[in-house]
Structure 1
Amino acid sequence: MQLVFDGHNDVLLRLWTHARDGADPIAEFRDGTSSGHIDAPRARAGGLAGGLCAIYIPSGDLVFAEPDRNGHYVTPLAAPLERWPSLDIANEMAAIALRLDRAGAWKLCRSTSDIRQSMEKGIFAAVMHMEGCEAIGADLAALETFYAMGLRSLGPVWSRNNVFAHGVPFAFPMSPDTGLGLTEAGFELVRECNRLGVLIDLAHITERGFWDVARTSDQPLVASHSNAHALTPVARNLTDKQLDAIRESRGVVGLNYATAMLRDDGRSDAGTPIETMLRHVDHLVERMGIDCVALGSDFDGATIPEDIGDASGNQRLIEALRGAGYGDADLAKLCRENWLRILASAWGETGKAAA
């Protein structure tokens, strides 16, 4: 079994939502549940050894647009969120991550050696990520606090605008060049992440914002859960020009399992075959090379192919990749080693730590 370190999931959002209804997040993750995609038993069954676990503040007003008769749709950007309610929710999700760590339900990792040791022990290796930085004010004081809690990765923006950047809408077909990029506060956020050693994720930012980060950051370029725009022209996917820039920086793109970002018609349909995922992997590898492609499932945050179902079915994708000609060395890179290399680079570790 190939162990997988995954570039993006929303399990903290699910646990937080259920906790508000009275559920115990530790028991739900440790002992298992029938809802969502990830818990410890299903992760073990599918070889999901860890991943970037997102703190994401939900947009209650967002209503996804229905496709027209041609299959086209444009979902307007969600409204910007207020800072202080967002900070409260982010603190609640971070508290769940810390409680899971203290209970031994997972290991909250702050280094690649933490990740490798946790995987060797069979404990889910969680890295705290922030998807959209509404909880962090322009003064960046909260960034230091979240860093102390374990935050080691962030996306400046989700698919809504905030004080740092502009996000892309959920739309098909549409270019990712949909608006402005980083604000002045956003440029400062990028520089501070470089100083601290916090990975910068470009998965939801506009194309202009992508290039703003590319000319400002000293890290490899990363899109944790995105696919190829050339195959599925949703605004969230990456153009070949963006893929070329990621290759040149020795960055990484994590394959998103969301069916709307895989299908050539842009539809959200669980009946999507695994072969559609292979098409995107092949395109990404052909464009960037095997060292720049990884997995970024979006478990607990998207409709994924029913042939995978949840974390327990993750090896079905791995076996399909093997059947398509990817050998053990390639699969090790796709499944975990490329992510560990990128994290070691962003976190300022030595080459030995990522080896």
Structure 2
Amino acid sequence: MSSSTRFFDGHNDFLLRLMKMPAPREETWLGTGRTGHLDLTRMKEAGFAGGLFAIFVPPASGGPPPDFKALMANPPYDLPIPPEMDHRIAQPDAFGMAGLLHWMERVAPDEFKVCRSGAEIRASMNDGVIAGVMHMEGAEAIDPDFDALFLFHEMGLRSLGPVWSRPTIFGHGAPMAFPGSPDIGPGLTDTGKDLVRLCNGLGIMIDLSHMNEAGFNDVAAISTAPLVATHSNAHALCTSPRNLTDRQLHAIRDTGGLVGFNFATFYLNPDGTAASDTSWDTMRRQLDYLITEAGEDHVGLGSDFDGCVLPDLIGDVTGVPRLFQALADSGYDDLILTKLARENWLACLERSLKPAS
């Protein structure tokens, strides 16, 4: 497979990094500074052809980001989870990040487009324009009456995770702990179940990453759409509560859904540490397992760029071609690599972003 293989990525936290950066933001977006994991210049260099861009509202306490390498250096660990956040606190940052996604399109209209349907995503990528899809990681900004959901949908929201690891009025997340089972705590609230039904009706994909097992089960029982976990790995190989059991992977397969292979070292390393010396063999074993259990048509990429500790072998978005080359060297053929790179995501999004009739 060519080192310039174009790919679709299921999760990144670039909008949060962009929001936190001091002016001029154009340098962060266009890539003159080459900080973090993503910018337009490196995305084009790497073959990043489209992706879900997360709106994630950080804990209200502010301060510097956690040092995950230190916090996860010596398992077992169970990191404290921030308390539930009211929608009136969450909305300013959430609306700000939604605006930044559209600002990115305005700054580079010939190179980046906010897309709202599977057909738009595929057409944009075919035209060589990066397809950006608005995603929400944790629905703290959605009010109990769902008024904000309709507004975000009009702005382009097409993928939503009801919870991050902290609880919301919609449900409970999987803790940042190791080792641990995703079968912890209650599932969706009644309001959360209503949220799933509304998202089905609007054609907003429900993201199961960060959801605990009871919440996963509730979505599976209610939703009429494919089950999707945008950035998760296999619990059998790394026993983080954030990773998916075999049963969950089978449910994703059986509904025509998708799991996005997460580059975060603490969901890759078998010992649960955030150490960045993760090997190609460790990454390949995770992908082998996901493909075996979920099926070769139901696995894509879900990098978690700008939101995690990456393997040194990847480093930033420009390392994705090295991952593809390592997989090719280990025996992955061009058909599997093309599915993994983009075709599985495109097919899943075409199935998932259709409003319920």
Indicate if the aligned counterparts of 1:234 and 1:266 stay in contact, CA closer than 8 A. Answer: yes
| Cα displacement (A) at 1:60 | 4.7
AA aligned to 1:78 is P
> Which stretches in structure 2 are left out of the alignment for 5+ residues?
none
Partner of 1:97: 101
Residue 211 of structure 1 aligns with which residue? 217
Greater shift, 131-140 or 113-122, is seen at 113-122
The 5-angstrom pairing of residues 180-329 of structure 1 reads 180-329=186-335
Aligned residues: 346
Q: Distance in 1 between matches of 2:332 and 2:40?
A: 28
Q: 1:116 is paired with a residue of what secondary structure?
A: helix
1:68 Cα offset (Å): 7.8
- Conservation of the 8 A alpha-carbon contact between 1:202 and 1:222: yes
Aligned: 1:168 with 2:162:
no
Letter in 2 for 1:279: R
* Aligned-residue offset at 1:116: 2.3
Partner of 1:22: 23
Q: CA offsets, 1:223-249, max 9 Å, x none?
A: 000000000001100011111111111
Counterpart residue number, 2:12: 9
In 1: Cα distance, 2:139 partner to 2:262 partner: 21
2:85 equivalent among 74, 81, 89: 81
Letter in 2 for 1:203: S
User: Structure 2 CA distance, aligned partners of 1:242 and 1:214?
Assistant: 10
Partner residue in 1 for 2:340: 334
- State the TM-score, normalizing by the size of structure 1: 0.94
Structure 2 residue matching 1:135: 3-state secondary structure = coil
- CA displacement at 1:332 relative to structure 2: 1.2
Pairwise CA distance, 1:34: 2.2
Report the Cα distance in structure 1 between the residues aligned to 2:72 and 2:340, rounded to whole angstroms.
33
Distance 2:164 2:131 in 1: 24
Deviation at 1:76, TM superposition (A): 2.4
Structure 1 unaligned residues grouped into runs of 5+: 350-355
Aligned partner of 1:141 in structure 2 is 147
Residue 54 (str. 1) matches residue 54 (str. 2)? yes
Query: What SS does the corresponding residue of 2:260 show, helix, strand or coil?
Result: strand
Offset from partner CA, 1:244-292 (integer Å, 9 cap, x none)? 1111112110000000000111000121112211111000111121001
Q: What's the secondary structure of 2:217's corresponding residue?
A: helix
Instruction: Provide the TM-score with structure 2 as the length reference.
Output: 0.93
SS in 2 for 1:290: coil
Shift of 1:120: 2.9
The residue that corresponds to 1:344 in the other structure is 350
Taking a change above 3 Å as real, the CA distance of residues 35 and 68 of structure 1, as seen in their structure-2 partners, is closer
SS of the counterpart of 2:300? strand
1:52-79 CA distance string (max 9 Å, x none): 000000125586683585x211112221
Structure 1 distance, partners of 2:32, 2:258, is 31
For residues 346 and 120 of structure 1, the distance between their equivalents in structure 2, rounded to whole angstroms, comes to 20
Q: What SS class does the counterpart of residue 299 from structure 1 fall into?
A: coil
Q: Aligned equivalents of 1:211 and 1:67: distance in 2? A: 28
Q: Distance in 2 between matches of 1:231 and 1:339?
A: 23
Query: Cα RMSD (Å) of the superposition?
Result: 1.7
Q: For 1:291, what is the secondary structure of its paired residue?
A: coil
Q: Which runs of 4+ in 1 moved over 6 A?
A: none
Alpha-carbon shift at residue 30 of structure 1 (Å) = 2.2
After superposition, what is the alpha-carbon deviation per residue over 1:181-200, rounded to whole angstroms, capped at 9, x for unaligned? Answer: 10011000000000000000
Write the letter of the residue equivalent to 1:79.
Answer: P
Following TM superposition, by how much is the alpha carbon of 1:28 offset from its aligned partner in structure 2, in angstroms?
A: 2.0
d(CA) in 2 for partners of 1:32, 1:124: 18
Question: Which AA in structure 2 matches 1:66?
Answer: L
Output the CA distance in 2 between the equivalents of 1:150 and 1:68. 39
Q: Is the 2:46–2:317 contact (alpha carbons within 8 Å) kept by the matching residues of 1?
A: yes
